[in-house]
């Protein structure tokens, strides 16, 4: 393939030679890094296929059910495939799970009773979970049902505060919630290995406590999952990594049979549990999405690494930085100025497959204390495994971005973001 042809195409997108040349230089430096990401994807692709083969996934499983959804073999087999991929006894993978927050809510509410306490050894959980637990007052929170909450913060260097954890676990502690990804907080994302060490420590203090991991954004980034290192439940969203960009909705809970069953009684109704829940035509997308998930996650990761190195080399602070190990697909770039953040998001939007003609504007989003700007031109509304970016309009004007169904698209989006930044201020790139 003639490199000039590719260049010509980038120029047609309005990208300057300066940006094109810098990007190709950065990309060349990343070869080893990308090879390592591809090796993880290769392993995970086989892990997924092994589960498909073991469960003899066949055409009959791609069918659908309606109404009560009794005996949906496609749905039930898919759940066994998930259980095999995550090496758990059981799994609940449903279109009726609205989003990641709902999956976590069902896992918590199904397994907690009045008087129980939830303990987080990794600081405050994700924003929406704070409302679910009742750390932030919300109607219907677990706090209203008599479930209390306690936490131990991470130390300032990001490590576990074992003393505080030991002190925080008491007779009422029934469930320990561990968030793998930093989400939009400033702490580091946890490696699966670190999660394993934390779980061992917790289980030594209290062997019968349920260890639940919020696995959002972490699936398939490593060759092992938290369920491989002792987690009793791992929970996540299908419009992030494991849906592979194809799942139009859904969430999963994988873990010990008893805990997954308890969650199912909460998702549908006591006494009904997992027997009900029509798949409404989503089975093919769930299977094919899981099949693609390792490759899609790798594409998103490569995009994040490319962006980190590109922006880092221009002097911006990036988290994680261009060389450190990664345990989720989120990339933060501190842009320092509101007009830079807006330009960055414009670039991501202009490279999108859907709504590339619209210009994102900052708006007053409910629940935020400053305006927020979002760039997303996704096939599945709000899907963050597809290339998307957002950031609050307040110092240090950080763009959080993630996703990219293909590396070529993630790369184009990031090059476009830099192009828009240069158009805003040509001193960005000397």
For residues 72 and 328, which CB has a smaller minimum distance to ligand PLP in the complex? 328
In the complex, what is the shortest distance from the CB of residue 389 to ligand PLP, in angstroms, rounded to a whole number? 15
For residues 14 and 382, which CB has a smaller minimum distance to ligand PLP in the complex? 382
Of the candidate spans 62-70, 96-104, 163-171, 333-341, the one that interacts with ligand PLP by CB under 6 A turns out to be 96-104
For residues 52 and 126, which CB has a smaller minimum distance to ligand PLP in the complex? 126
Q: Do 66 and 95 contact (CB within 8 A), yes or no? A: no
Hey, what are 96's tokens?
A: 């009726």
For residues 100 and 377, which CB has a smaller minimum distance to ligand PLP in the complex? 100
Of the candidate spans 98-106, 193-201, 221-229, 368-376, the one that interacts with ligand PLP by CB under 6 A turns out to be 98-106
For residues 142 and 310, which CB has a smaller minimum distance to ligand PLP in the complex? 142
Angle, helices 31-54 vs 73-85, to 10°: value is 130
Per-residue b or e along 278-313, where b marks 16 or more CB atoms closer than 10 Å to that residue's CB: bbbebbbbbbbbbbbbbbbbbbbbbbbbbbbbbbbe
In the complex, what is the shortest distance from the CB of residue 279 to ligand PLP, in angstroms, rounded to a whole number? 20
User: Which of 82, 86, 119, 126: binder of ligand PLP (CB under 6 A)?
Assistant: 126
What part of residues 165-184 is at the interface with ligand PLP (CB under 6 A)? 179, 181, 183
Q: Do 400 and 375 contact (CB within 8 A), yes or no? A: no
Hey, what are 12's tokens?
A: 């047609």
For residues 241 and 279, which CB has a smaller minimum distance to ligand PLP in the complex? 241
For residues 214 and 219, which CB has a smaller minimum distance to ligand PLP in the complex? 214
Going edge to edge, which strands form the sheet with 388-392?
317-319, 331-334, 398-402, 388-392, 372-376
Q: Is the dihedral of CA 161, 162, 163, 164 positive or negative?
A: positive
| Residue 100 binds ligand PLP, judged by CB under 6 A | yes
Any bridge partners for residue 234, and if so which?
213, 254
In the complex, what is the shortest distance from the CB of residue 168 to ligand PLP, in angstroms, rounded to a whole number? 21
**R_g of the chain, CA atoms, integer Å:** 22
| Residue 96 binds ligand PLP, judged by CB under 6 A | no
> DSSP states of 290-343 as a string?
HHHHHHHHHHHHHHHHHHHHHHHHTT-EEES-SSS--SSS-EEEE--SHHHHHH
In the complex, what is the shortest distance from the CB of residue 103 to ligand PLP, in angstroms, rounded to a whole number? 8
For residues 37 and 99, which CB has a smaller minimum distance to ligand PLP in the complex? 99
Q: Alpha helix (H) ranges present in 55-137?
A: 73-85, 100-111, 127-133
In the complex, what is the shortest distance from the CB of residue 184 to ligand PLP, in angstroms, rounded to a whole number? 8
| Residue 55 binds ligand PLP, judged by CB under 6 A | no
Hey, what are 165's tokens?
A: 């954890």
Beta strand pairing call for 398-402 and 388-392: antiparallel
Using a 10 angstrom Cβ sphere, with 0-12 exposed, 13-18 middle and 19 or more buried, the burial of residue 338 is middle
Of the candidate spans 51-59, 60-68, 97-105, 373-381, the one that interacts with ligand PLP by CB under 6 A turns out to be 97-105
What part of residues 292-311 is at the interface with ligand PLP (CB under 6 A)? none
What part of residues 187-246 is at the interface with ligand PLP (CB under 6 A)? 214, 216-217, 237
- For ligand PLP (CB under 6 A), the number of binding residues is 12
Measured from the Cβ of residue 109, the count of other Cβ atoms closer than 10 Å reads 20
Residues that bind ligand PLP in the complex, under the rule CB under 6 A: 99-101, 126, 128, 179, 181, 183, 214, 216-217, 237
């Amino acid at each position: 393939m003639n490199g000039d042809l590719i260049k010509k195409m980038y120029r047609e997108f309005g990208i300057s030679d300066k940006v094109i040349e810098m990007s190709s230089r950065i990309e060349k430096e990343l070869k080893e890094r990308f090879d390592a990401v591809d090796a993880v994807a290769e392993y995970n692709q086989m892990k997924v296929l092994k589960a498909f083969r073991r469960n003899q996934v066949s055409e009959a499983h791609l069918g659908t059910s309606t109404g009560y959804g009794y005996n949906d073999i496609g749905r039930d087999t898919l759940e066994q495939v998930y259980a095999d991929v995550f090496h758990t006894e059981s799994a609940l993978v449903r279109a009726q799970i609205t989003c990641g927050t709902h999956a976590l809510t069902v896992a918590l509410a199904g397994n907690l009773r009045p008087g129980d306490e939830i303990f987080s050894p990794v600081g405050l959980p994700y924003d929406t979970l704070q409302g679910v637990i009742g750390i932030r007052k919300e109607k219907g929170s677990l706090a209203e049902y008599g479930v209390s909450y306690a936490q131990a913060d991470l130390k300032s260097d990001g490590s576990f505060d074992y003393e505080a954890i030991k002190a925080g676990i008491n007779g009422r502690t029934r469930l320990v919630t561990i968030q793998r990804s930093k989400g939009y907080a400033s702490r580091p994302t946890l490696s699966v290995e670190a999660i394993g060490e934390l779980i061992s420590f917790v289980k030594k203090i209290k062997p019968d406590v349920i260890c639940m991991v919020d696995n959002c954004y972490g699936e398939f980034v490593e060759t092992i999952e938290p369920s491989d290192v002792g987690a009793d439940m791992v929970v996540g969203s299908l419009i992030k990594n494991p849906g592979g960009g194809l799942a139009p909705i859904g969430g999963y809970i994988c873990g010990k049979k008893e805990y997954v069953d308890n969650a199912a009684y909460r998702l549908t109704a006591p006494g009904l549990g997992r027997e009900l829940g029509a798949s409404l035509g989503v089975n093919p997308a769930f299977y094919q999405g899981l099949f693609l998930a390792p490759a899609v996650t790798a594409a998103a990761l490569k995009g994040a690494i490319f962006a980190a190195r590109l922006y880092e080399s221009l002097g911006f602070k990036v988290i994680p930085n261009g060389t450190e190990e990664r345990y989720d697909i989120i990339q933060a770039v501190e842009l320092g100025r509101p007009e830079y953040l807006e330009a960055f998001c414009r670039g991501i939007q202009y490279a999108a497959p859907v709504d590339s003609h619209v210009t994102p504007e900052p708006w007053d989003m409910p629940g935020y204390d400053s305006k927020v700007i979002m760039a997303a031109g996704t096939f599945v509304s709000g899907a963050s495994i597809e290339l998307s970016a957002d950031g609050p309009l307040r110092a240090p004007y950080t763009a959080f971005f993630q996703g990219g169904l293909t590396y070529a698209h993630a790369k184009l989006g990031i090059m476009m973001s830099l192009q828009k930044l240069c158009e805003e201020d040509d001193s960005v790139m000397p």
